[in-house]
Amino acid sequence: MSENILGAFMEEELVSQPAVWQRAVEQARAEQLLPADGQRVAVVGCGTSWFMAQSYAVARESAGKGMTDAFAASEAFLNSNSPDRQYDAVVAITRSGTTTEVLELLGALQGLVPTVAIIGDTSSPIVGLADAVIGLPYADERSVVQTRFATSALVYLLTSLGMDVQQAIDDARDAVSAPVSRELLDAEQFTFLGTGWTVGLAHEAALKMREAVQGWTESYSAMEYRHGPISIAAPGRVTWLFGDQPDGLDKDMEATGALYVRTGKHPLAELARVHKVTLERARSRGLNPDLPRNLTRSVILNASA
């Protein structure tokens, strides 16, 4: 692999997702490091990791495993600053293990509430801060833009809830190898939609294209989309649904003239397909998603990353 090829790391990492997800499934089945069923859990992270936290939180609570809330680490209302809002455990998601807001939060929670960190870099400082560590070093990445760590962390977490992700793995094999159509490459704007646990995936897809393509993207819950944002849909633009469609949305989309993408494939595989589209859109604009503008692998405040 040549480092001169734009997004060479991102390509290798996104294509490896089906195989890496399989490893995450096996690891999740072999470990029991997450909070027990019934516990009140807060899940935290920043950026991509926050969106994975959102997906997990909805999936856990929907599966009847206990109250689960997701917070951006910088905006978390946890035991230390809100005595009325008591959590039994906090789960932190971070690829780097060096993100300042996550480290500060776990530091503040030490001795107050049990914490579990799900991480990519198993030599990072978060290892000394969290009470338990779930390491996914085989999913760690060299590209600044995250693909497989985030999705593998979510695969691990969903598997821990008893969700079977085999369909995602099967669908993703096609998703990461299928060619990207000219219409998707040239589209002016993308809006991503989800329902339930896939809303977090929609937010992540939109972030990916902002980071790597510097493009105009939006993301909503599919029901909320009709409360205003659908005005943005127009010919030459794309609206992409992850998972179930609310009644009548296809008819509403037809009237807009936008390209409506709704494949019926597993939502995680659809996110992997967005990764591929993102890579090709970045390349077609001469951008390197391994090194996006104004972004580092980890946001370390008051220091250079």
Site of interaction with ligand F1P (CB under 6 A) = 46-49, 94-96, 99, 102, 144, 146, 211, 295, 297-299
Residue nearest to ligand F1P (CB): 47
Spell out the alpha helix ranges (H) of the chain.
8-15, 17-30, 48-62, 100-109, 148-160, 166-175, 182-186, 199-213, 222-225, 249-256, 267-284
**Residue closer to ligand F1P, measured from CB, 103 or 259:** 103
CB of 193 to ligand F1P, least distance (A): 21
Which residue, 155 or 249, is less far from ligand F1P as judged by CB?
Answer: 155
Q: What is the DSSP-derived secondary structure letter of residue 32?
A: -
Q: What is the closest distance, in whole angstroms, from the C-beta atom of residue 154 to ligand F1P in the complex? A: 12
Q: How far is the CB of 45 from ligand F1P (least distance, A)?
A: 6
Match 């019934």 to its residue by tokens.
38
**In angstroms, rounded to a whole number, what is the distance separating the alpha carbons of residues 131 and 215?**
39
C-beta closer to ligand F1P: residue 96 or 159? 96
Q: Among 244, 191, 249, 247, which residue's Cα sits nearest to residue 215?
A: 191
In 3D space, the residue among 194, 187, 192 whose CA is nearest the CA of residue 206 turns out to be: 192
Instruction: Compare residues 35 and 47 and give the one whose CB is closer to ligand F1P.
Output: 47
Which CB, 232 or 295, lies closer to ligand F1P?
295
Which residue's CB is nearer to ligand F1P, number 117 or number 259? 117
Q: How far is the CB of 219 from ligand F1P (least distance, A)?
A: 14
User: Residue 64 CB, nearest distance to ligand F1P (Å)?
Assistant: 28
Nearest in space to 259 (alpha carbons), one of 234, 238, 286: 238
The overall longest dimension of the chain from CA atoms, in Å, is: 56
Of residues 109 and 144, the one with the C-beta less far from ligand F1P: 144
Shortest reach from residue 290's CB to ligand F1P, in Å: 11
Q: How far is the CB of 260 from ligand F1P (least distance, A)?
A: 27
Please choose, from the candidates 72, 137, 67, the residue with its C-alpha nearest in 3D space to the C-alpha of residue 99. 72
- State how far Cα 183 lies from the chain centre: 25
CA pair distance 31, 132, nearest whole angstrom: 12
